[in-house]
């Protein structure tokens, strides 16, 4: 018997940008698309418009597909880039590895995921080269794809030069380059660069572009800059249950966010909130930042007793990502009052702790 559904939370939380609702621009766009009947399975005007807007956004004639979530986007994209006897190289803290329940391996019929380390969630390019060069015998799953996450799972962002180095290394090693862009908007806002420069111009072949965490109800875009790799991807989506019959309602929010500019504004707001939260948390005894805050997440170490008392006070936050530090994530609808409330509780509860060195 399933437990009762969790109640609607009375205050904004910092567990994930997945906790947030639908932003006004996405909601209005869905309402605007809800006019009468329209052709199904993507043959509607909203889907066509959203695809064109994304081609304008990235300044290139890319192939665009809409899927329901990021796990589908990542795993189907990776499956399109390699065969079952290949391997995909990604960071040891990547979502593909840690939080997609083997979807990439499943949809590619067995492609092996090979993990590399790297500081603060970014792949170490020497480790990537070693993973490719270490073996060339028939028994080794031949590396075919390098997958990176931008912004990373640990709240950091590859700068333009780092992305260019990743792209150059992927080309040198004859690897396709996939980008998990669940929080691409946050990276874009952080870098103040052009979408094209931090994607295909840096060498990205396929991007899973996040919409859900940036204010949409549901929906990610799989964008093939290397159009040849998109061949029959539509069939792959259909077979995986990722071809929406009422595609217009996945596509319309993209129109709403891109035409209004909310796509970037939402992410910039979340990043600013995280910067404010970071500045406040740095002042609290026993709370130590564990990764540079470069997007919308703040990672801190703190005493287990403080973690427990914060949760008892009603705060939701994850401690299972990366090396298990606490992640506080801001979103398009985070308010300064939410930050003030969290910081006040944390400061009060931390002050009650006996003097102790922060955990390792």
Ligand X SMILES: C[C@H](O)[C@H](N)C(=O)O
Binding test (CB under 6 A) with ligand PLP, winner from 153, 162, 278, 280? 153
The residue from 175, 182, 222, 302 that contacts ligand PLP (CB under 6 A) is 182
Given ligand PLP, ligand X, none, residue 243, with its beta carbon under 5 to 8 Å by kind, binds: none
- What is the phi/psi pair of residue 308, to 5°? -65, -40
Beta-bridge partner residues of 355? none
Half-sphere exposure for 290 (CA within 13 Å, toward CB): 22
Of the candidates 113, 67, 101, 129, which has an alpha carbon nearest to the alpha carbon of residue 254? 67
Q: Which does 185 bind (CB under 5 to 8 A by kind): ligand PLP, ligand X, none?
A: none
> Shortest CA distance to 274 belongs to which of 336, 211, 209, 192?
336
Stretch that binds ligand PLP, among 65-73, 78-86, 159-167, 289-297 (CB under 6 A): 65-73
121 is a contact residue toward ligand PLP (CB under 6 A): no
Q: Is the peptide bond before 81 cis (omega within 30 degrees of 0)?
A: no
Ramachandran angles phi, psi of 148, nearest 5°: -120, 160
Whichever of 143 and 155 has its CB closer to ligand X, that residue is 155
> Least distance from C-beta 167 to ligand PLP, angstroms?
19
Using CB under 6 A as the binding rule, whether residue 93 contacts ligand PLP is answered as no
Cβ at position 99, least distance to ligand X in Å: 4
Residue ranges of E strands in the chain: 63-67, 86-91, 112-116, 142-149, 176-181, 206-210, 220-224, 288-289, 297-301, 326-329
Nearer to ligand PLP, 190 or 309 (CB): 190
Measured from each CB, the residue nearest to ligand PLP is 70
Residue 71 touching ligand PLP (CB under 6 A): yes
Bridge pairing between strands 206-210 and 220-224? antiparallel
Give whichever of 16 and 60 is closer to ligand X, judged by the CB atom.
Answer: 16
- Complete edge-to-edge strand list for the sheet that includes strand 288-289: 288-289, 297-301, 326-329
Give residues in contact with ligand PLP (CB under 6 A): 18, 69-71, 74, 95, 149, 153, 180, 182, 212
Give residues in contact with ligand X (CB under 6 A): 16, 18, 95, 99, 321
């Amino acid at each position: 018997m399933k437990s009762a559904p969790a109640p609607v939370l009375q205050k904004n939380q910092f567990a994930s940008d997945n906790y947030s609702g639908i932003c006004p621009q996405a909601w209005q766009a869905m309402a605007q698309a809800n006019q009468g009947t329209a052709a199904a399975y993507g043959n509607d005007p909203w889907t066509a418009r959203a695809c064109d807007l994304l081609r304008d956004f990235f300044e290139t004639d890319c192939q665009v597909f809409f899927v329901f979530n990021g796990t589908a986007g990542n795993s189907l994209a990776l499956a399109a880039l390699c065969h079952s006897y290949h391997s995909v190289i990604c960071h040891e803290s990547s979502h593909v590895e840690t939080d997609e329940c083997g979807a990439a391996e499943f949809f590619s019929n067995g492609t092996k995921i090979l993990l590399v380390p790297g500081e603060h969630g970014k792949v170490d390019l020497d480790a990537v080269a070693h993973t490719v060069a270490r073996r060339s015998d028939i028994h080794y799953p031949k590396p075919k794809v390098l997958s990176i996450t931008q912004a990373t799972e640990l709240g950091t962002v590859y700068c333009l030069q780092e992305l260019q180095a990743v792209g150059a290394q992927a080309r040198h090693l004859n690897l396709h380059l996939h980008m998990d862009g669940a929080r691409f908007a946050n990276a874009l806002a952080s870098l103040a660069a052009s979408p094209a420069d931090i994607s295909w111009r840096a060498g990205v072949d396929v991007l899973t572009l996040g919409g859900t965490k940036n204010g949409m109800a549901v929906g990610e875009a799989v964008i093939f800059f290397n159009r040849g790799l998109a061949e029959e991807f539509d069939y792959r989506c259909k077979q995986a249950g990722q071809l929406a019959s009422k595609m217009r309602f996945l596509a319309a929010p993209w129109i709403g966010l891109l035409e209004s500019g909310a796509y970037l504004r939402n992410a910039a707001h979340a990043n600013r909130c995280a910067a404010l939260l970071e500045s406040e948390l740095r002042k609290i005894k026993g709370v130590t930042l564990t990764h540079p805050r470069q997007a919308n997440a703040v990672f801190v170490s703190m005493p287990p007793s403080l973690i427990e008392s914060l949760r008892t006070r009603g705060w939701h936050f994850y401690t299972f990502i990366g090396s298990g530090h606490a992640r506080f994530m801001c979103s398009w609808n985070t308010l300064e009052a939410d930050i003030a409330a969290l910081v006040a509780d944390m400061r009060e509860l931390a002050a009650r702790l006996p003097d102790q060195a922060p955990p390792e």
